[in-house]
Amino acid sequence: MHAEQPVRPGRAKRLPRAVRERQIMDAAVDVFSRLGFHAASMDEISEVAGISKPMLYAYLGSKEELFATCIRREATRMMEAIANGVEAEEPPDVQLWSGLRAFFGFVGENRASWQVLHRQASSQGGPFAEELADMRGRAISLVAALLVHSSDFTNVPRAGDKEAESLAAALVGAGESLADWWLDNPREPAGVVAARLMNLVWMGFGDLVAGNVWHPPSRRATAE
Amino acid sequence: MHAEQPVRPGRAKRLPRAVRERQIMDAAVDVFSRLGFHAASMDEISEVAGISKPMLYAYLGSKEELFATCIRREATRMMEAIANGVEAEEPPDVQLWSGLRAFFGFVGENRASWQVLHRQASSQGGPFAEELADMRGRAISLVAALLVHSSDFTNVPRAGDKEAESLAAALVGAGESLADWWLDNPREPAGVVAARLMNLVWMGFGDLVAGNVWHPPSRRATAE
DNA sequence: AGGTAAGCCTACTGGCGAGTAGGTAAGGCG
DNA sequence: CGCCTTACCTACTCGCCAGTAGGCTTACCT
């Protein structure tokens, strides 16, 4: 026995700052997502990260700063993932479809990120709610813009700003809620869940009950 | 000067237990909704309730028990409000419409309750999430049953259980999210917000973009 | 009136966890 | 090969808050 366990209780290997910061962030997202902001302790985060507490403070500042940084990072990753999935040239329904697929794809592959973003951040009264509400607001605005743009294509009288924004809020909420539901029922692939929401918000129950469904126009994206 | 301030810093007026319990619950819902579970302190709750801390423990047990009791009470109130608004005889769209109106009506008049239910409970890892998830699950099941029932009316192949449940989850989430949005933009009456969601989920964006809207069938309910 | 029980209080403890002081090793560079 | 900077640690302090011990007071009942 060489006593060669990779987990040294004593001292951690020496690493450049940037790498350590990444590790810490990953650990923080993990712990925050499992326990929530308050229940998570800096001690546990440092342990998961494989370093000691003072390093946290040296590198990422206070607990609140750390949490806010986590939110910013994960939210940015998600927004980018969605933006990359959507092309502005497409017609409205296809844009919506692409966005939904990108969204559920991201959530499926980044559950911890999603937990931090959605469940934790929105419920803490601190400066995080602000941070998160900001991101969420941007998402809503984006969807709202898409809606307004869509109605410009057609003969609709006008889609008021507030009206579009509230519809976008409803849509974003539906996505969030369905994502949560999906995490509790992870049997189905992302594409199926996305298609379901697409049908709900594009066709509506009225059509669904009547047996009409929406299909993606081309044959280039079906399931995960 | 009679030193006759109604707020006695010393001793509270003697009251029967049932009444005090109500006061305490009201105070607890208020404080929890403003600060969240962790940030809320038993000291503050007792202060708002106008009594001293040991009374809390004597009457409502630990902090967790108190919170769970709050959730149960408020969730029950809301479920009843909605159930009272819906009649099983009506066609599906009218049932949905009545439910939405009742829901937004409740939220508008019970903001604190809503905050406790939605924002706080869902994010704490304790036994509350369970409590709340239970209520939420019942709401989702209810909507899902309505959906399945609706599709039975028609020629639809079949609405799978999981399918209906996921759609219901999306709908409930849309309602929650729109309610949150409404609290931040409280200009509009409940009926308008409810009608907007009704149009989204019944008609779908596809129809809305094309200018088709849904109207309540009779003239007996329009705005708050 | 006097007893008694229910309602109420002040004033503590005990633990947990954020944040820090001050010291040790390891890689780089002359 | 020694020196210094940077990475890293152990071992504390300190405040906050859930929960409690033990005593006072007011209403009702006989």
The distance (Å) linking the CA of A98 with the C1' of D12 is 55
The distance (Å) linking the CA of B165 with the C1' of D5 is 60
Q: Provide CB contacts within 8 A for B210, sequence distance 6+.
A: A154, A156
Cα separation, B224 vs B218, whole angstroms: 16
Determine whether the interchain pair A167/B200 forms a contact, defined as Cβ–Cβ distance below 8 Å. yes
Q: What pLDDT is recorded for position B6? A: 43
Cβ atoms within 10 A of the Cβ of A86, count? Answer: 20
Determine whether the interchain pair A170/B177 forms a contact, defined as Cβ–Cβ distance below 8 Å. yes
Give a three-class secondary structure readout of B46-76.
HHHHCCCHHHHHHHHCCHHHHHHHHHHHHHH
Cα dist from B67 to A120, A205, B4, B63, whole Å? 18, 36, 35, 6
Q: What pLDDT is recorded for position B224? A: 38
- Interchain CB contact of A174 with B (< 8 Å): yes
Distance, in angstroms, between A195 CA and closest chain B CA? 11
Footprint of strand D on the protein (CB under 7 A): A 9-17, 20, 50-55, 58; B 11, 13-14, 39-43, 53-54, 57, 62-64
Residues 72-131 on A with a CB inside 8 Å of B are: 92-93, 96, 119-120, 122-125
Q: What pLDDT is recorded for position B153? A: 58
Q: Which residue of B has its CA nearest to A152?
A: B209
Q: What pLDDT is recorded for position B195? A: 93
Cα separation, A27 vs A48, whole angstroms: 6
* Whether B162 CB is under 7 Å from strand C: no
Structure tokens at A107: 């959530």
Determine whether the interchain pair B180/A173 forms a contact, defined as Cβ–Cβ distance below 8 Å. yes
User: Could you tell me which of A150, A146, A152 has the C-alpha nearest to residue A165?
Assistant: A146
Contact A23, A50 (CB under 8 A): yes
Which positions in strand C are less than 7 Å from the protein's CB atoms? Answer: 6-11, 16-22, 25-27
Mean pLDDT, residues A9-31 taken together: 90
Q: What pLDDT is recorded for position A70? A: 92
Q: What pLDDT is recorded for position B77? A: 92
Determine whether the interchain pair A209/B36 forms a contact, defined as Cβ–Cβ distance below 8 Å. no
Mean pLDDT, residues A53-69 taken together: 94
Contact A154, B210 (CB under 8 A): yes
CA A83 to chain centre: 12
Nearest Cβ partner for A174 among B153, B162, B173: B173
Cα separation, A60 vs A139, whole angstroms: 27
Q: For A66, list phi and psi in degrees, rounded to 5.
A: -60, -45
Cα dist from A11 to A45, A48, A50, B38, B131, whole Å? 16, 14, 9, 34, 43
pLDDT at A65 over 90: yes
Averaged confidence pLDDT in chain A: 83
Which residue in A163, A209, A213, A214 has the most chain B C-beta atoms within 10 A of its own C-beta, making it the best mutation to test that interface?
A209
pLDDT at A217 over 60: yes
pLDDT at A148 over 50: yes
Alpha helices by DSSP H, listed for chain B, are 17-35, 42-49, 53-60, 63-85, 92-109, 111-114, 127-153, 161-184, 190-209
pLDDT digits (tens, 9 = 90+) for A100-133: 999 999 999 998 888 777 767 666 656 676 777 7
Residues on chain A touching B196 (C-beta within 8 angstroms): 163, 166-167, 170
Looking at residue B14, what DSSP letter applies?
P
Mean pLDDT, residues A30-52 taken together: 93
Q: Which residue of B has its CA nearest to A153?
A: B209
Sequential pLDDT tens for chain B (224 residues): 443 444 445 678 889 999 999 999 999 999 998 888 888 999 999 999 999 999 999 999 999 999 999 999 998 999 999 999 998 888 888 999 999 999 999 999 998 888 777 767 666 656 666 777 778 888 888 888 887 877 665 555 555 778 888 999 999 989 988 988 888 788 889 999 999 999 999 998 888 777 778 888 765 444 43
Which positions in strand D are less than 7 Å from the protein's CB atoms? Answer: 6-11, 16-22, 25-27
Residues on chain B touching A175 (C-beta within 8 angstroms): 170, 173
Q: Is the dihedral of CA A118, A119, A121, A126 positive or negative?
A: positive
* DSSP-assigned states of every residue in A163-195: HHHHHHHHHHHHHHHHHHHHHHSTTS-HHHHHH
Cα separation, A148 vs A127, whole angstroms: 31
pLDDT digits (tens, 9 = 90+) for A194-208: 999 999 999 988 887
Q: Provide CB contacts within 8 A for A165, sequence distance 6+.
A: A140, A141, A144, B181, B185
Determine whether the interchain pair B119/A124 forms a contact, defined as Cβ–Cβ distance below 8 Å. no
Determine whether the interchain pair A205/B202 forms a contact, defined as Cβ–Cβ distance below 8 Å. yes
- Interchain CB contact of A36 with B (< 8 Å): yes
Contact B178, A170 (CB under 8 A): yes
Distance, in angstroms, between A206 CA and closest chain B CA? 5
Cα separation, B55 vs B42, whole angstroms: 10
pLDDT at A210 over 80: no
Contact B47, B56 (CB under 8 A): no
Determine whether the interchain pair A162/B206 forms a contact, defined as Cβ–Cβ distance below 8 Å. no
Cβ atoms within 10 A of the Cβ of B149, count? Answer: 15
Q: What pLDDT is recorded for position A1? A: 44
Q: Is A36 left (phi over 0), alpha (psi -120 to 50) or beta?
A: left
